[in-house]
Amino acid sequence: MVSYIQAPPAAAASAPSPIKATGRSLNWGVVSTGRIVSKVIADLQSLEDANVIAVSSRNEERARAFADEHDIEWAYGSYQAMFDEPEIEAVYIATPHGQHFEIAMAALKSGKNVVCEKSLTINAAEARALVAEAAAQDLFLMEAVWSRFTPAFARAMEILESGELGEPSWVQADLGFKAQYDPQWRLFDPTAGGGALLDLAVYPLTWAIGTMGFPTSVQASADLNEDGVDLQTAITLGYSGVRHAQLMVSLNSSSTREARVSCTAGWLGTNAPLHNPTKLFIHPVNGPARTEVFEPVGENYTYEFREATRCIQEGLTESPTMTWEHSINTMAIFDGIRHQLGIRYPNDLARTSNS
Ligand SMILES: NC(=O)c1ccc[n+]([C@@H]2O[C@H](COP(=O)([O-])OP(=O)(O)OC[C@H]3O[C@@H](n4cnc5c(N)ncnc54)[C@H](OP(=O)(O)O)[C@@H]3O)[C@@H](O)[C@H]2O)c1
């Protein structure tokens, strides 16, 4: 019989709160008034050293309403108008992926440090161009893969690296939900970079990359709808040695939304959702199984903003945890998958030639 021991994660117990200041205060502006900004904003505002002083929207009334609701001083009816404001040092971009490149490039060219939602861009060529601009301007740029900074993910990596479970050999991770078709919704809109791949695969992939690094081979199959958007995509990653990852993303089916890492001397699993688990299940072959439990701080986006803030305070241009290489390689994997599946976006044709 498996016995479960509730154990506090040692690392999390001693870690400082992500809300605590790590240096001077930064002035932030946020781009868009969409769904995710509304969820994330309180976490950014909760940092002791973050002043969220502005919001921008394509529509001035929406910006003003959002600013009033979230106690933000300045509201702009265009993204560029906010980028032109010298007091703003960093921006958080949360538009659909199809628009990330243009907006993040405009922000960088205006001298702003950038945290941009996932997927960073819609192809690797765009990601490389953003990285080149950030490097040239000596500005911080990070894809907002918040999962990488959560204590549960960090602890999972610590356990796997400790060798307690042997060598990781197989990752299974899925992320699926039933999205009602709406051609206006970014998930189904090719110009927004719609589809399960770019919206969801970043997260299961984070478990495969975190555990085993970047793969040597990628195979995918998918079901596309009439607009050429992938509704459900299965991805198999190959590695040297006896190592694989099987990832599944879907806009068509509800799934367990869990990750499991099978190792030569046991396995580790998460509860749902795998992008922000609150439990890790650790099953060593030669010992009792245990569960480690994690308390979120806010919605748990606090950790990615702590990382970005600390990096900017320290004058870093990239996060050592969520690196530029990671984002570019991820987009290159997606390019390869899209090539296999025949997924094309109207607004990436001009920019894919060197991807
Ligand atoms: N980290 C996470 O947990 C998480 C969760 C969900 C989504 N995301 C990511 O966050 C980004 C936004 O997702 P979302 O669900 O918040 O999207 P959303 O609700 O559709 O909002 C996107 C916002 O972007 C602005 N926008 C600019 N150009 C646009 C265009 N051509 N079409 C539509 N909207 C446009 C709009 O704001 P204005 O009109 O005010 O300018 C819109 O409200 C995506 O990249 C997604 O992958 C992250």
In order along its 355 residues, the chain shows pLDDT tens digits of 333 445 545 555 567 899 999 999 999 999 999 999 999 999 999 999 999 999 999 999 999 999 999 999 999 999 999 999 999 999 999 999 999 999 999 999 999 999 999 999 999 999 999 999 999 999 999 999 999 999 999 999 999 999 999 999 999 999 999 999 999 999 999 999 999 999 999 999 999 999 999 999 999 999 999 999 999 999 999 999 999 999 999 999 999 999 999 999 999 999 999 999 999 999 999 999 999 999 999 999 999 999 999 999 999 999 999 999 999 999 999 999 999 999 999 987 655 444 4
pLDDT of residue 270: 98
CB of 64 within 8 A of CB of 47? no
pLDDT of residue 250: 98
- Report which protein residue has its CA nearest ligand 1's atom 4: 36
CA 223 to centroid of ligand 1, rounded, Å:
24
Whole-number Å distance between alpha carbons of 159 and 155: 6
Q: Which residue has the tokens 């085993």?
A: 212
**The model scores a pTM over 0.85:** yes
Q: Which residue has the tokens 């781009």?
A: 31
Buried/exposed 84-104: b ≥16 CB within 10 Å, e otherwise: ebeebbbbbbbbbbbbbbebb
pLDDT of residue 349: 61
Nearest to 139 by CA among 106, 102, 99, 187: 106
Whole-number Å distance between alpha carbons of 307 and 287: 35
| Residue 273 Cβ < 6 Å to ligand 1 | no
CA 184 to centroid of ligand 1, rounded, Å:
12
| Residue 96 Cβ < 6 Å to ligand 1 | yes
Most informative mutation of 58, 78, 95, 182 for ligand 1 (most atoms within 8 A of CB): 95
DSSP code at position 18: T
pLDDT of residue 355: 42
| Residue 95 Cβ < 6 Å to ligand 1 | yes
pLDDT of residue 293: 98
* Backbone φ/ψ region at 47: left (φ over 0), alpha (ψ -120 to 50), beta: beta
Q: Which residue has the tokens 């296999």?
A: 340
| Residue 149 Cβ < 6 Å to ligand 1 | no
Residue type, 294: F
CB of 40 within 8 A of CB of 117? no
Whole-number Å distance between alpha carbons of 170 and 118: 25
CA distances to 206, 238, 240, 329, 354 from 215, in Å: 12, 6, 8, 10, 21
The alpha-carbon radius of gyration of the chain (Å, integer) is 20
Whole-number Å distance between alpha carbons of 205 and 303: 19
**Which H/E stretch holds residue 52?**
strand 50-56
Q: Which atom belonging to ligand 1 lies closest to the Cα atom of 79?
A: 41
CA 1 to centroid of ligand 1, rounded, Å:
47
**Hey, what are 328's tokens?**
């570019």
pLDDT of residue 9: 53
Burial class (CB in 10 A: 0-12, 13-18, 19+), 135: middle
**Hey, what are 233's tokens?**
């995509």
Whole-number Å distance between alpha carbons of 242 and 305: 37
pLDDT of residue 4: 41
CB of 150 within 8 A of CB of 188? no
- Report which protein residue has its CA nearest ligand 1's atom 21: 34
Where are the strands (E) in 206-294, listed by range?
Answer: 217-224, 230-239, 243-250, 259-263, 266-270, 279-284, 290-293
- Report which protein residue has its CA nearest ligand 1's atom 44: 96
| Residue 344 Cβ < 6 Å to ligand 1 | no
| Residue 284 Cβ < 6 Å to ligand 1 | no
- Report which protein residue has its CA nearest ligand 1's atom 9: 117
| Residue 300 Cβ < 6 Å to ligand 1 | no
What sign for the dihedral angle of Cα 28, 31, 32, 35? Answer: negative
Residue type, 296: P
| Residue 168 Cβ < 6 Å to ligand 1 | no
CA 95 to centroid of ligand 1, rounded, Å:
4
| Residue 192 Cβ < 6 Å to ligand 1 | yes
CB of 249 within 8 A of CB of 201? yes
Question: How far does Cα 278 stand from its chain's mean position?
Answer: 17
238 contacts: CB under 8 Å, gap ≥ 6:
215, 216, 217, 218, 219, 244
